[in-house]
């Protein structure tokens, strides 16, 4: 059930809007307010999934309501309703965070599409918020080695800009972690972070996944569907394993980056998107370019800032910290007391050949916690850490 508030001083228009919405979906629970101040009071007292708000109104105009509501409940999408004289203001409200605007008299199709999109978006933002609560801890970046320090410094500098970032490094080095931080520390952090693993999606589906499709575009396209570019609007799109993307999808991504526009598969209608793309790969893209598997022009678009995440072998100094971090996390997950590691055990693990992989280190720590003694010893490491 979606709760929608209609703030409109003209009773006739208000009635039309309520009627259209009621007829569209019985599950919409619709409330009304006849001026800005009454609307704002309702927003404070109740939780809405969407607000439709007229711009010109007595007491408190729509722009003021939008600004107040953004401060108190920024997750509620606003669709502004503009009359003849206030189209410029309507466009401006988009900059203030309105989701969209519609003109009076409202066009039925446009209204319903905008309402549906806004409600979809609200769900995403809420899901994202829930995730984000976990993000802080889940995405802790452990390490004090100069290599990690320098990555943290680059993230600090680059995140607030809108520059695209290409993250390279072996499997499990922490590329996704870096991408999350670029988003978290950017001005886009309250908008969605959407991840697409390009290697995991069959090449014939990747375009639909990224750009969406319209009904009938292909056999299984039974209804219109937005893609990840649209879902990431105003936020960050993380294209993981971009080196595995098909050439035809690469061409479309290039266009999206050049023009900030996409079109759904099966449609030639352009949709504007405002998305920051962060990409990652474990491949050597220069080699892929030479082999004709990766577009050089796309590479240059993506690699405005390059961050190389070093292998664990290149920052062994961080291994003791990572062991302690994982040991704590694992005991938290298992609800047991954290086990300690003897100095010899840590030294031995520090000398291992990790060929890049932090994920592997975590697994080894988990195995040692389960199988080792109360204090994990060098003997335990020799016995149980073999890979
Ligand atoms: N510096 C770090 N501190 C703490 N945990 C880390 C660090 N780097 C990576 N990890 C953890 O290691 C695991 C692998 O990291 P991540 O998924 O970011 O790697 P990746 O390079 O994106 O991997 P892949 O190449 O397989 O996609 C994750 O569980 C991540 O939280």
Residue 310 Cα to ligand 1 midpoint, Å, equals: 12
Atom of ligand 1 nearest to the CA of 309: 21
Please name the helix (run of DSSP H) or strand (run of DSSP E) that holds residue 25, with its range, or none.
none
- If one residue of 359, 360, 364, 366 were mutated to test the ligand 1 pocket, choosing by the most ligand atoms within 8 A of its CB, it would be 359
Q: What is the mean pLDDT of residues 57-75?
A: 90
Distance 385 CA to ligand 1 centre (A): 19
Enumerate long-range contacts of 373-381, CB under 8 Å, 24 or more apart. 374/339, 375/339, 375/340, 375/341, 375/342, 376/339, 376/340, 376/341, 376/342, 376/345, 377/342, 377/344, 377/345, 378/342, 378/344, 378/345, 378/347, 378/348, 380/345, 381/345, 381/348, 381/349
Q: Is the pLDDT of residue 140 over 70?
A: yes
Give phi and psi for 41, each to the nearest 5.
-60, -45
> For residue range 329-379, what is the model confidence (pLDDT) as tens digits?
888 887 777 788 999 999 999 998 887 689 889 999 999 988 888 899 999
User: Which domains, ranges and CATH numbers included, belong to the chain?
Assistant: 2-127 (3.40.50.2300), 139-308 (3.40.50.300), 312-384 (1.10.8.60)
Report the DSSP beta bridge partners of residue 50: 4
Closest atom of ligand 1 to 178 CA is 18
At residue 129, the pLDDT reads 64
Residue carrying the six token digits 């404070």: 44
For the chain, give the number of residues.
387
The confidence band for 124, taking pLDDT boundaries of 50, 70 and 90, is confident
Counting from 1 in the atom list of ligand 1, the atom nearest the Cα of 241 is: 27
Kindly report, residue by residue over 258-304, the tens digit of the pLDDT: 999 999 999 989 999 999 999 999 999 999 999 999 999 999 999 99
Query: Checking DSSP bridges between strand 78-82 and strand 261-262, what pairing results, if any?
Result: unpaired
Average pLDDT of the segment spanning 153-179: 94
Give which of 136, 249, 258 is closest to 185, Cα–Cα. 136
Alpha helices in 172-275 (DSSP H): 175-184, 203-211, 228-231, 247-259
Q: How far is the CA of 114 from the centre of ligand 1 (A)?
A: 38
What's the gap in Å between 140 CA and the centre of ligand 1?
10
Instruction: Tell which phi-psi region holds residue 22, choosing left (phi > 0), alpha (psi between -120 and 50) or beta.
Output: alpha
Cβ(345)–Cβ(381) below 8 Å: yes
Burial class (CB in 10 A: 0-12, 13-18, 19+), 31: middle
């Amino acid at each position: 059930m979606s709760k929608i508030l209609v703030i409109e001083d003209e009773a006739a228009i208000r009635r039309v809007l309520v009627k259209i919405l009621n007829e569209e979906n019985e599950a919409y629970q619709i409330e009304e307010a006849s001026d800005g101040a009454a609307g704002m009071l309702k927003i404070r007292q109740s939780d809405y999934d969407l607000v439709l708000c007229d711009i010109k109104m007595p007491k408190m105009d729509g722009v003021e309501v939008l600004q107040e509501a953004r401060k108190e409940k920024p997750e509620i999408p606003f669709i502004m309703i503009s009359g003849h004289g206030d189209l410029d203001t309507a466009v401006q409200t988009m900059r203030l965070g309105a989701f969209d605007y519609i003109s009076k008299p409202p066009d039925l199709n446009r209204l319903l599409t905008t309402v549906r999109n806004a409600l979809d978006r609200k769900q995403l933002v809420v899901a994202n918020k829930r995730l984000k609560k976990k993000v802080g801890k889940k995405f802790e970046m452990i390490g004090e080695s100069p290599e990690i320090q320098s990555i943290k410094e680059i993230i600090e500098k680059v995140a607030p800009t809108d520059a695209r970032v290409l993250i390279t490094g072996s499997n499990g080095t922490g590329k996704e972690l870096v991408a999350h931080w670029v988003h978290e520390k950017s001005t886009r952090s309250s908008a969605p972070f959407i991840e697409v693993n390009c290697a995991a999606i069959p090449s014939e589906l990747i375009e639909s996944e990224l750009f969406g499709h319209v009904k009938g575009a292909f056999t299984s396209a039974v209804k219109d569907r937005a893609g990840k570019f649209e879902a990431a609007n105003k936020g960050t799109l993380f294209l993981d394993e971009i080196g595995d993307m098909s050439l035809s999808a690469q061409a479309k991504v290039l266009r999206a980056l050049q023009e900030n526009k996409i079109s759904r598969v099966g449609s030639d209608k352009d949709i504007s998107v405002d998305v920051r793309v962060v990409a990652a790969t474990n491949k050597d893209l220069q080699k892929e370019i030479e082999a004709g598997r990766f577009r050089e022009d796309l590479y240059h678009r993506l690699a405005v800032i390059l961050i190389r995440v070093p292998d664990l072998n290149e920052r062994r100094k961080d291994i003791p910290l990572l062991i302690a971090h994982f040991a704590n996390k694992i005991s938290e997950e298992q609800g047991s007391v954290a086990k300690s590691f003897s100095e010899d055990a840590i030294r031995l693990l520090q000398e291992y050949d990790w060929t890049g992989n932090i994920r592997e280190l975590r697994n080894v720590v988990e195995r040692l916690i389960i199988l080792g003694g109360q204090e994990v010893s060098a003997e335990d490491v020799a016995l149980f850490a073999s890979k």
